[in-house]
Amino acid sequence: MIDLKLLRDNPELVRASQRTRGEDEGLVDQLLEADSRRRDAIAAADNARSEQKSFSKDMGKQMKTASEEEKVALREEGKKKAERVKELEAEQNAAEQAVYDLQMQLSNVVEDGAPAGGEDDFVVLEHVGTPPEFDFEPKDHLELGESLGLIDMKRGTKVSGARFYFLTGDGALLQLGMLQLAAQKATAAGFKLMIPPVLVRPEVMAGTGFLGAHADEIYHLEEDDLYLVGTSEVALAGYHSDEIIDLSAGALRYAGWSSCFRREAGSYGKDTRGIIRVHQFDKLEMFVYCKPEEAQEQHQKLLQMEKEMLAAVEVPYRVIDVAGGDLGSSAARKFDTEAWVPTQNTYRELTSTSNCTTFQGRRLKTRYRDENGKAQTVATLNGTLATTRWLVAILENNQQADGSVVVPEALRPFVGKDVLTPR
């Protein structure tokens, strides 16, 4: 939800943001008109209430000396004024709802410098590491996972359907080790580790911006009216909803470890092999509450955390600046890190970090007090520090000619092996 004051003061900035996203800039003028009607409705209702209050005060005095006929007239006039107040209050409520509905449709204002365009219009910021050159035909992660006894897709499909899987034996240890390493790095950097709920209320899901264009990606339990999260960002964003938090000692930083669920609607036939695009996975997600003026600095810190974690698991990757049309409604700026996947001869997304500015804070009514004690809306940011998909890059980049996979040194204490060998 964008700031209405920003909209009034600089509507062209919001229009330009909509163009960068490839979204309807007509929403800006619709919201401006709705906001004008809302302010007029508020003024009219306030005036009517003031008139009613003043009339009631005078009426009390006049009733003492009025004739019966005059008293009837005064009562009738008082009734009319009360009805008028109710009528104008209803108009005010309708006008406020119209503004709210339009605000919920308008995406966050894109940060200056983010590239325009869609999914393919990202800008590569840097490459880190060198893709391996094999003197043998490399196997993909699923073939490696099956031969090493790490992944069982067939039984996952038997038990739960397509795009489900079992991580077995060393595969389970590899994921747990990766997430444990991420948790250790996060806590060492001052993040509070959290294991949040994976079911959330509709208002929390909507507050984070996930019930818009991509609502069909989310599992909904109709009987309980609860949503399964696709990221622990949702629960962590709702953690301080309707609160005034203390940022006097600096940003609040959390790291949420959870299972995540995505319907992957509309992706049929895409990445169906292996564990690149699945319905359930585990993830450690960083989440930050800070003052708006600190958000860009915090964003760079999250990106640096991701880069350090990728270095620890020894995969080559690149960092991209995501284009406006691919940001998602909440993000003002997003950086993705993409690891090299040898058998696909391309880079694939492993992490993303987003600066959501005050968009989520405004929706979820999360505020802090400034140096003058005045309540202000917080900024929120998020970033992935490890997730199941990382196993794809770890396995493929560290494979050897005999079908074995070298375990990255940082993960060996958790796995208990230096090399994973075929069964």
Catalytic, 15? Answer: no
Q: Active-site residue among 21, 163, 253, 262?
A: 262
Is 352 annotated among the ligand-binding residues?
yes
Query: Does 23 count as an annotated binding residue?
Result: no
CB 303 within 8 A of CB 353: yes
Asked whether 367 and 244 are in contact (CB, 8 A), the reply is yes
- The residue from 39, 201, 277, 348 that is catalytic is 277
H helix intervals, 63-126: 68-105
Give me the catalytic one of 23, 318, 349, 369. Answer: 349
Q: Pull the structure tokens for residue 411.
A: 């993960």
- What is the Cβ-side half-sphere exposure of residue 129, based on CA atoms within 13 angstroms? 23
- Does residue 233 have a known ligand-binding role? yes
* 351 is known to lie in a ligand binding site: yes
Is 262 labeled as catalytic in the residue annotation?
yes
| Catalytic residue list contains 389 | yes
Sign of CA dihedral 126, 129, 133, 136: negative
Which member of 17, 258, 330, 352 is catalytic?
352
Annotated ligand binding at 335? The verdict is: no
**Under DSSP, is residue 98 helix (H, G, I), strand (E, B) or coil?**
helix
| 259 annotated among ligand-binding-site residues | no
The secondary structure element, H or E, covering residue 32 is helix 26-62
382 is in an annotated binding site: yes
Strand order in the sheet with 226-228: 199-200, 226-228, 220-221
409 known ligand binder: no
Is 278 annotated for ligand binding?
yes
DSSP 349: E
Q: Which amino acid, residue 373?
A: G
Active site residue 369: no
281 is in an annotated binding site: yes
Please indicate whether residue 155 is annotated as part of the active site. no
**Is 231 labelled as part of a ligand binding site?**
yes
Report whether 96 belongs to an annotated binding site.
Answer: no
* Tokens linked to 180: 């444990």
C-alpha 98/C-alpha 73 separation (Å) is 38
The residues that are catalytic are 262, 277, 349, 352, 389
Per the annotation, where are the binding residues for L-serine? Answer: 231-233, 262, 285, 382, 384
Per the annotation, where are the binding residues? Answer: 231-233, 262-264, 278-281, 285, 349-352, 382, 384
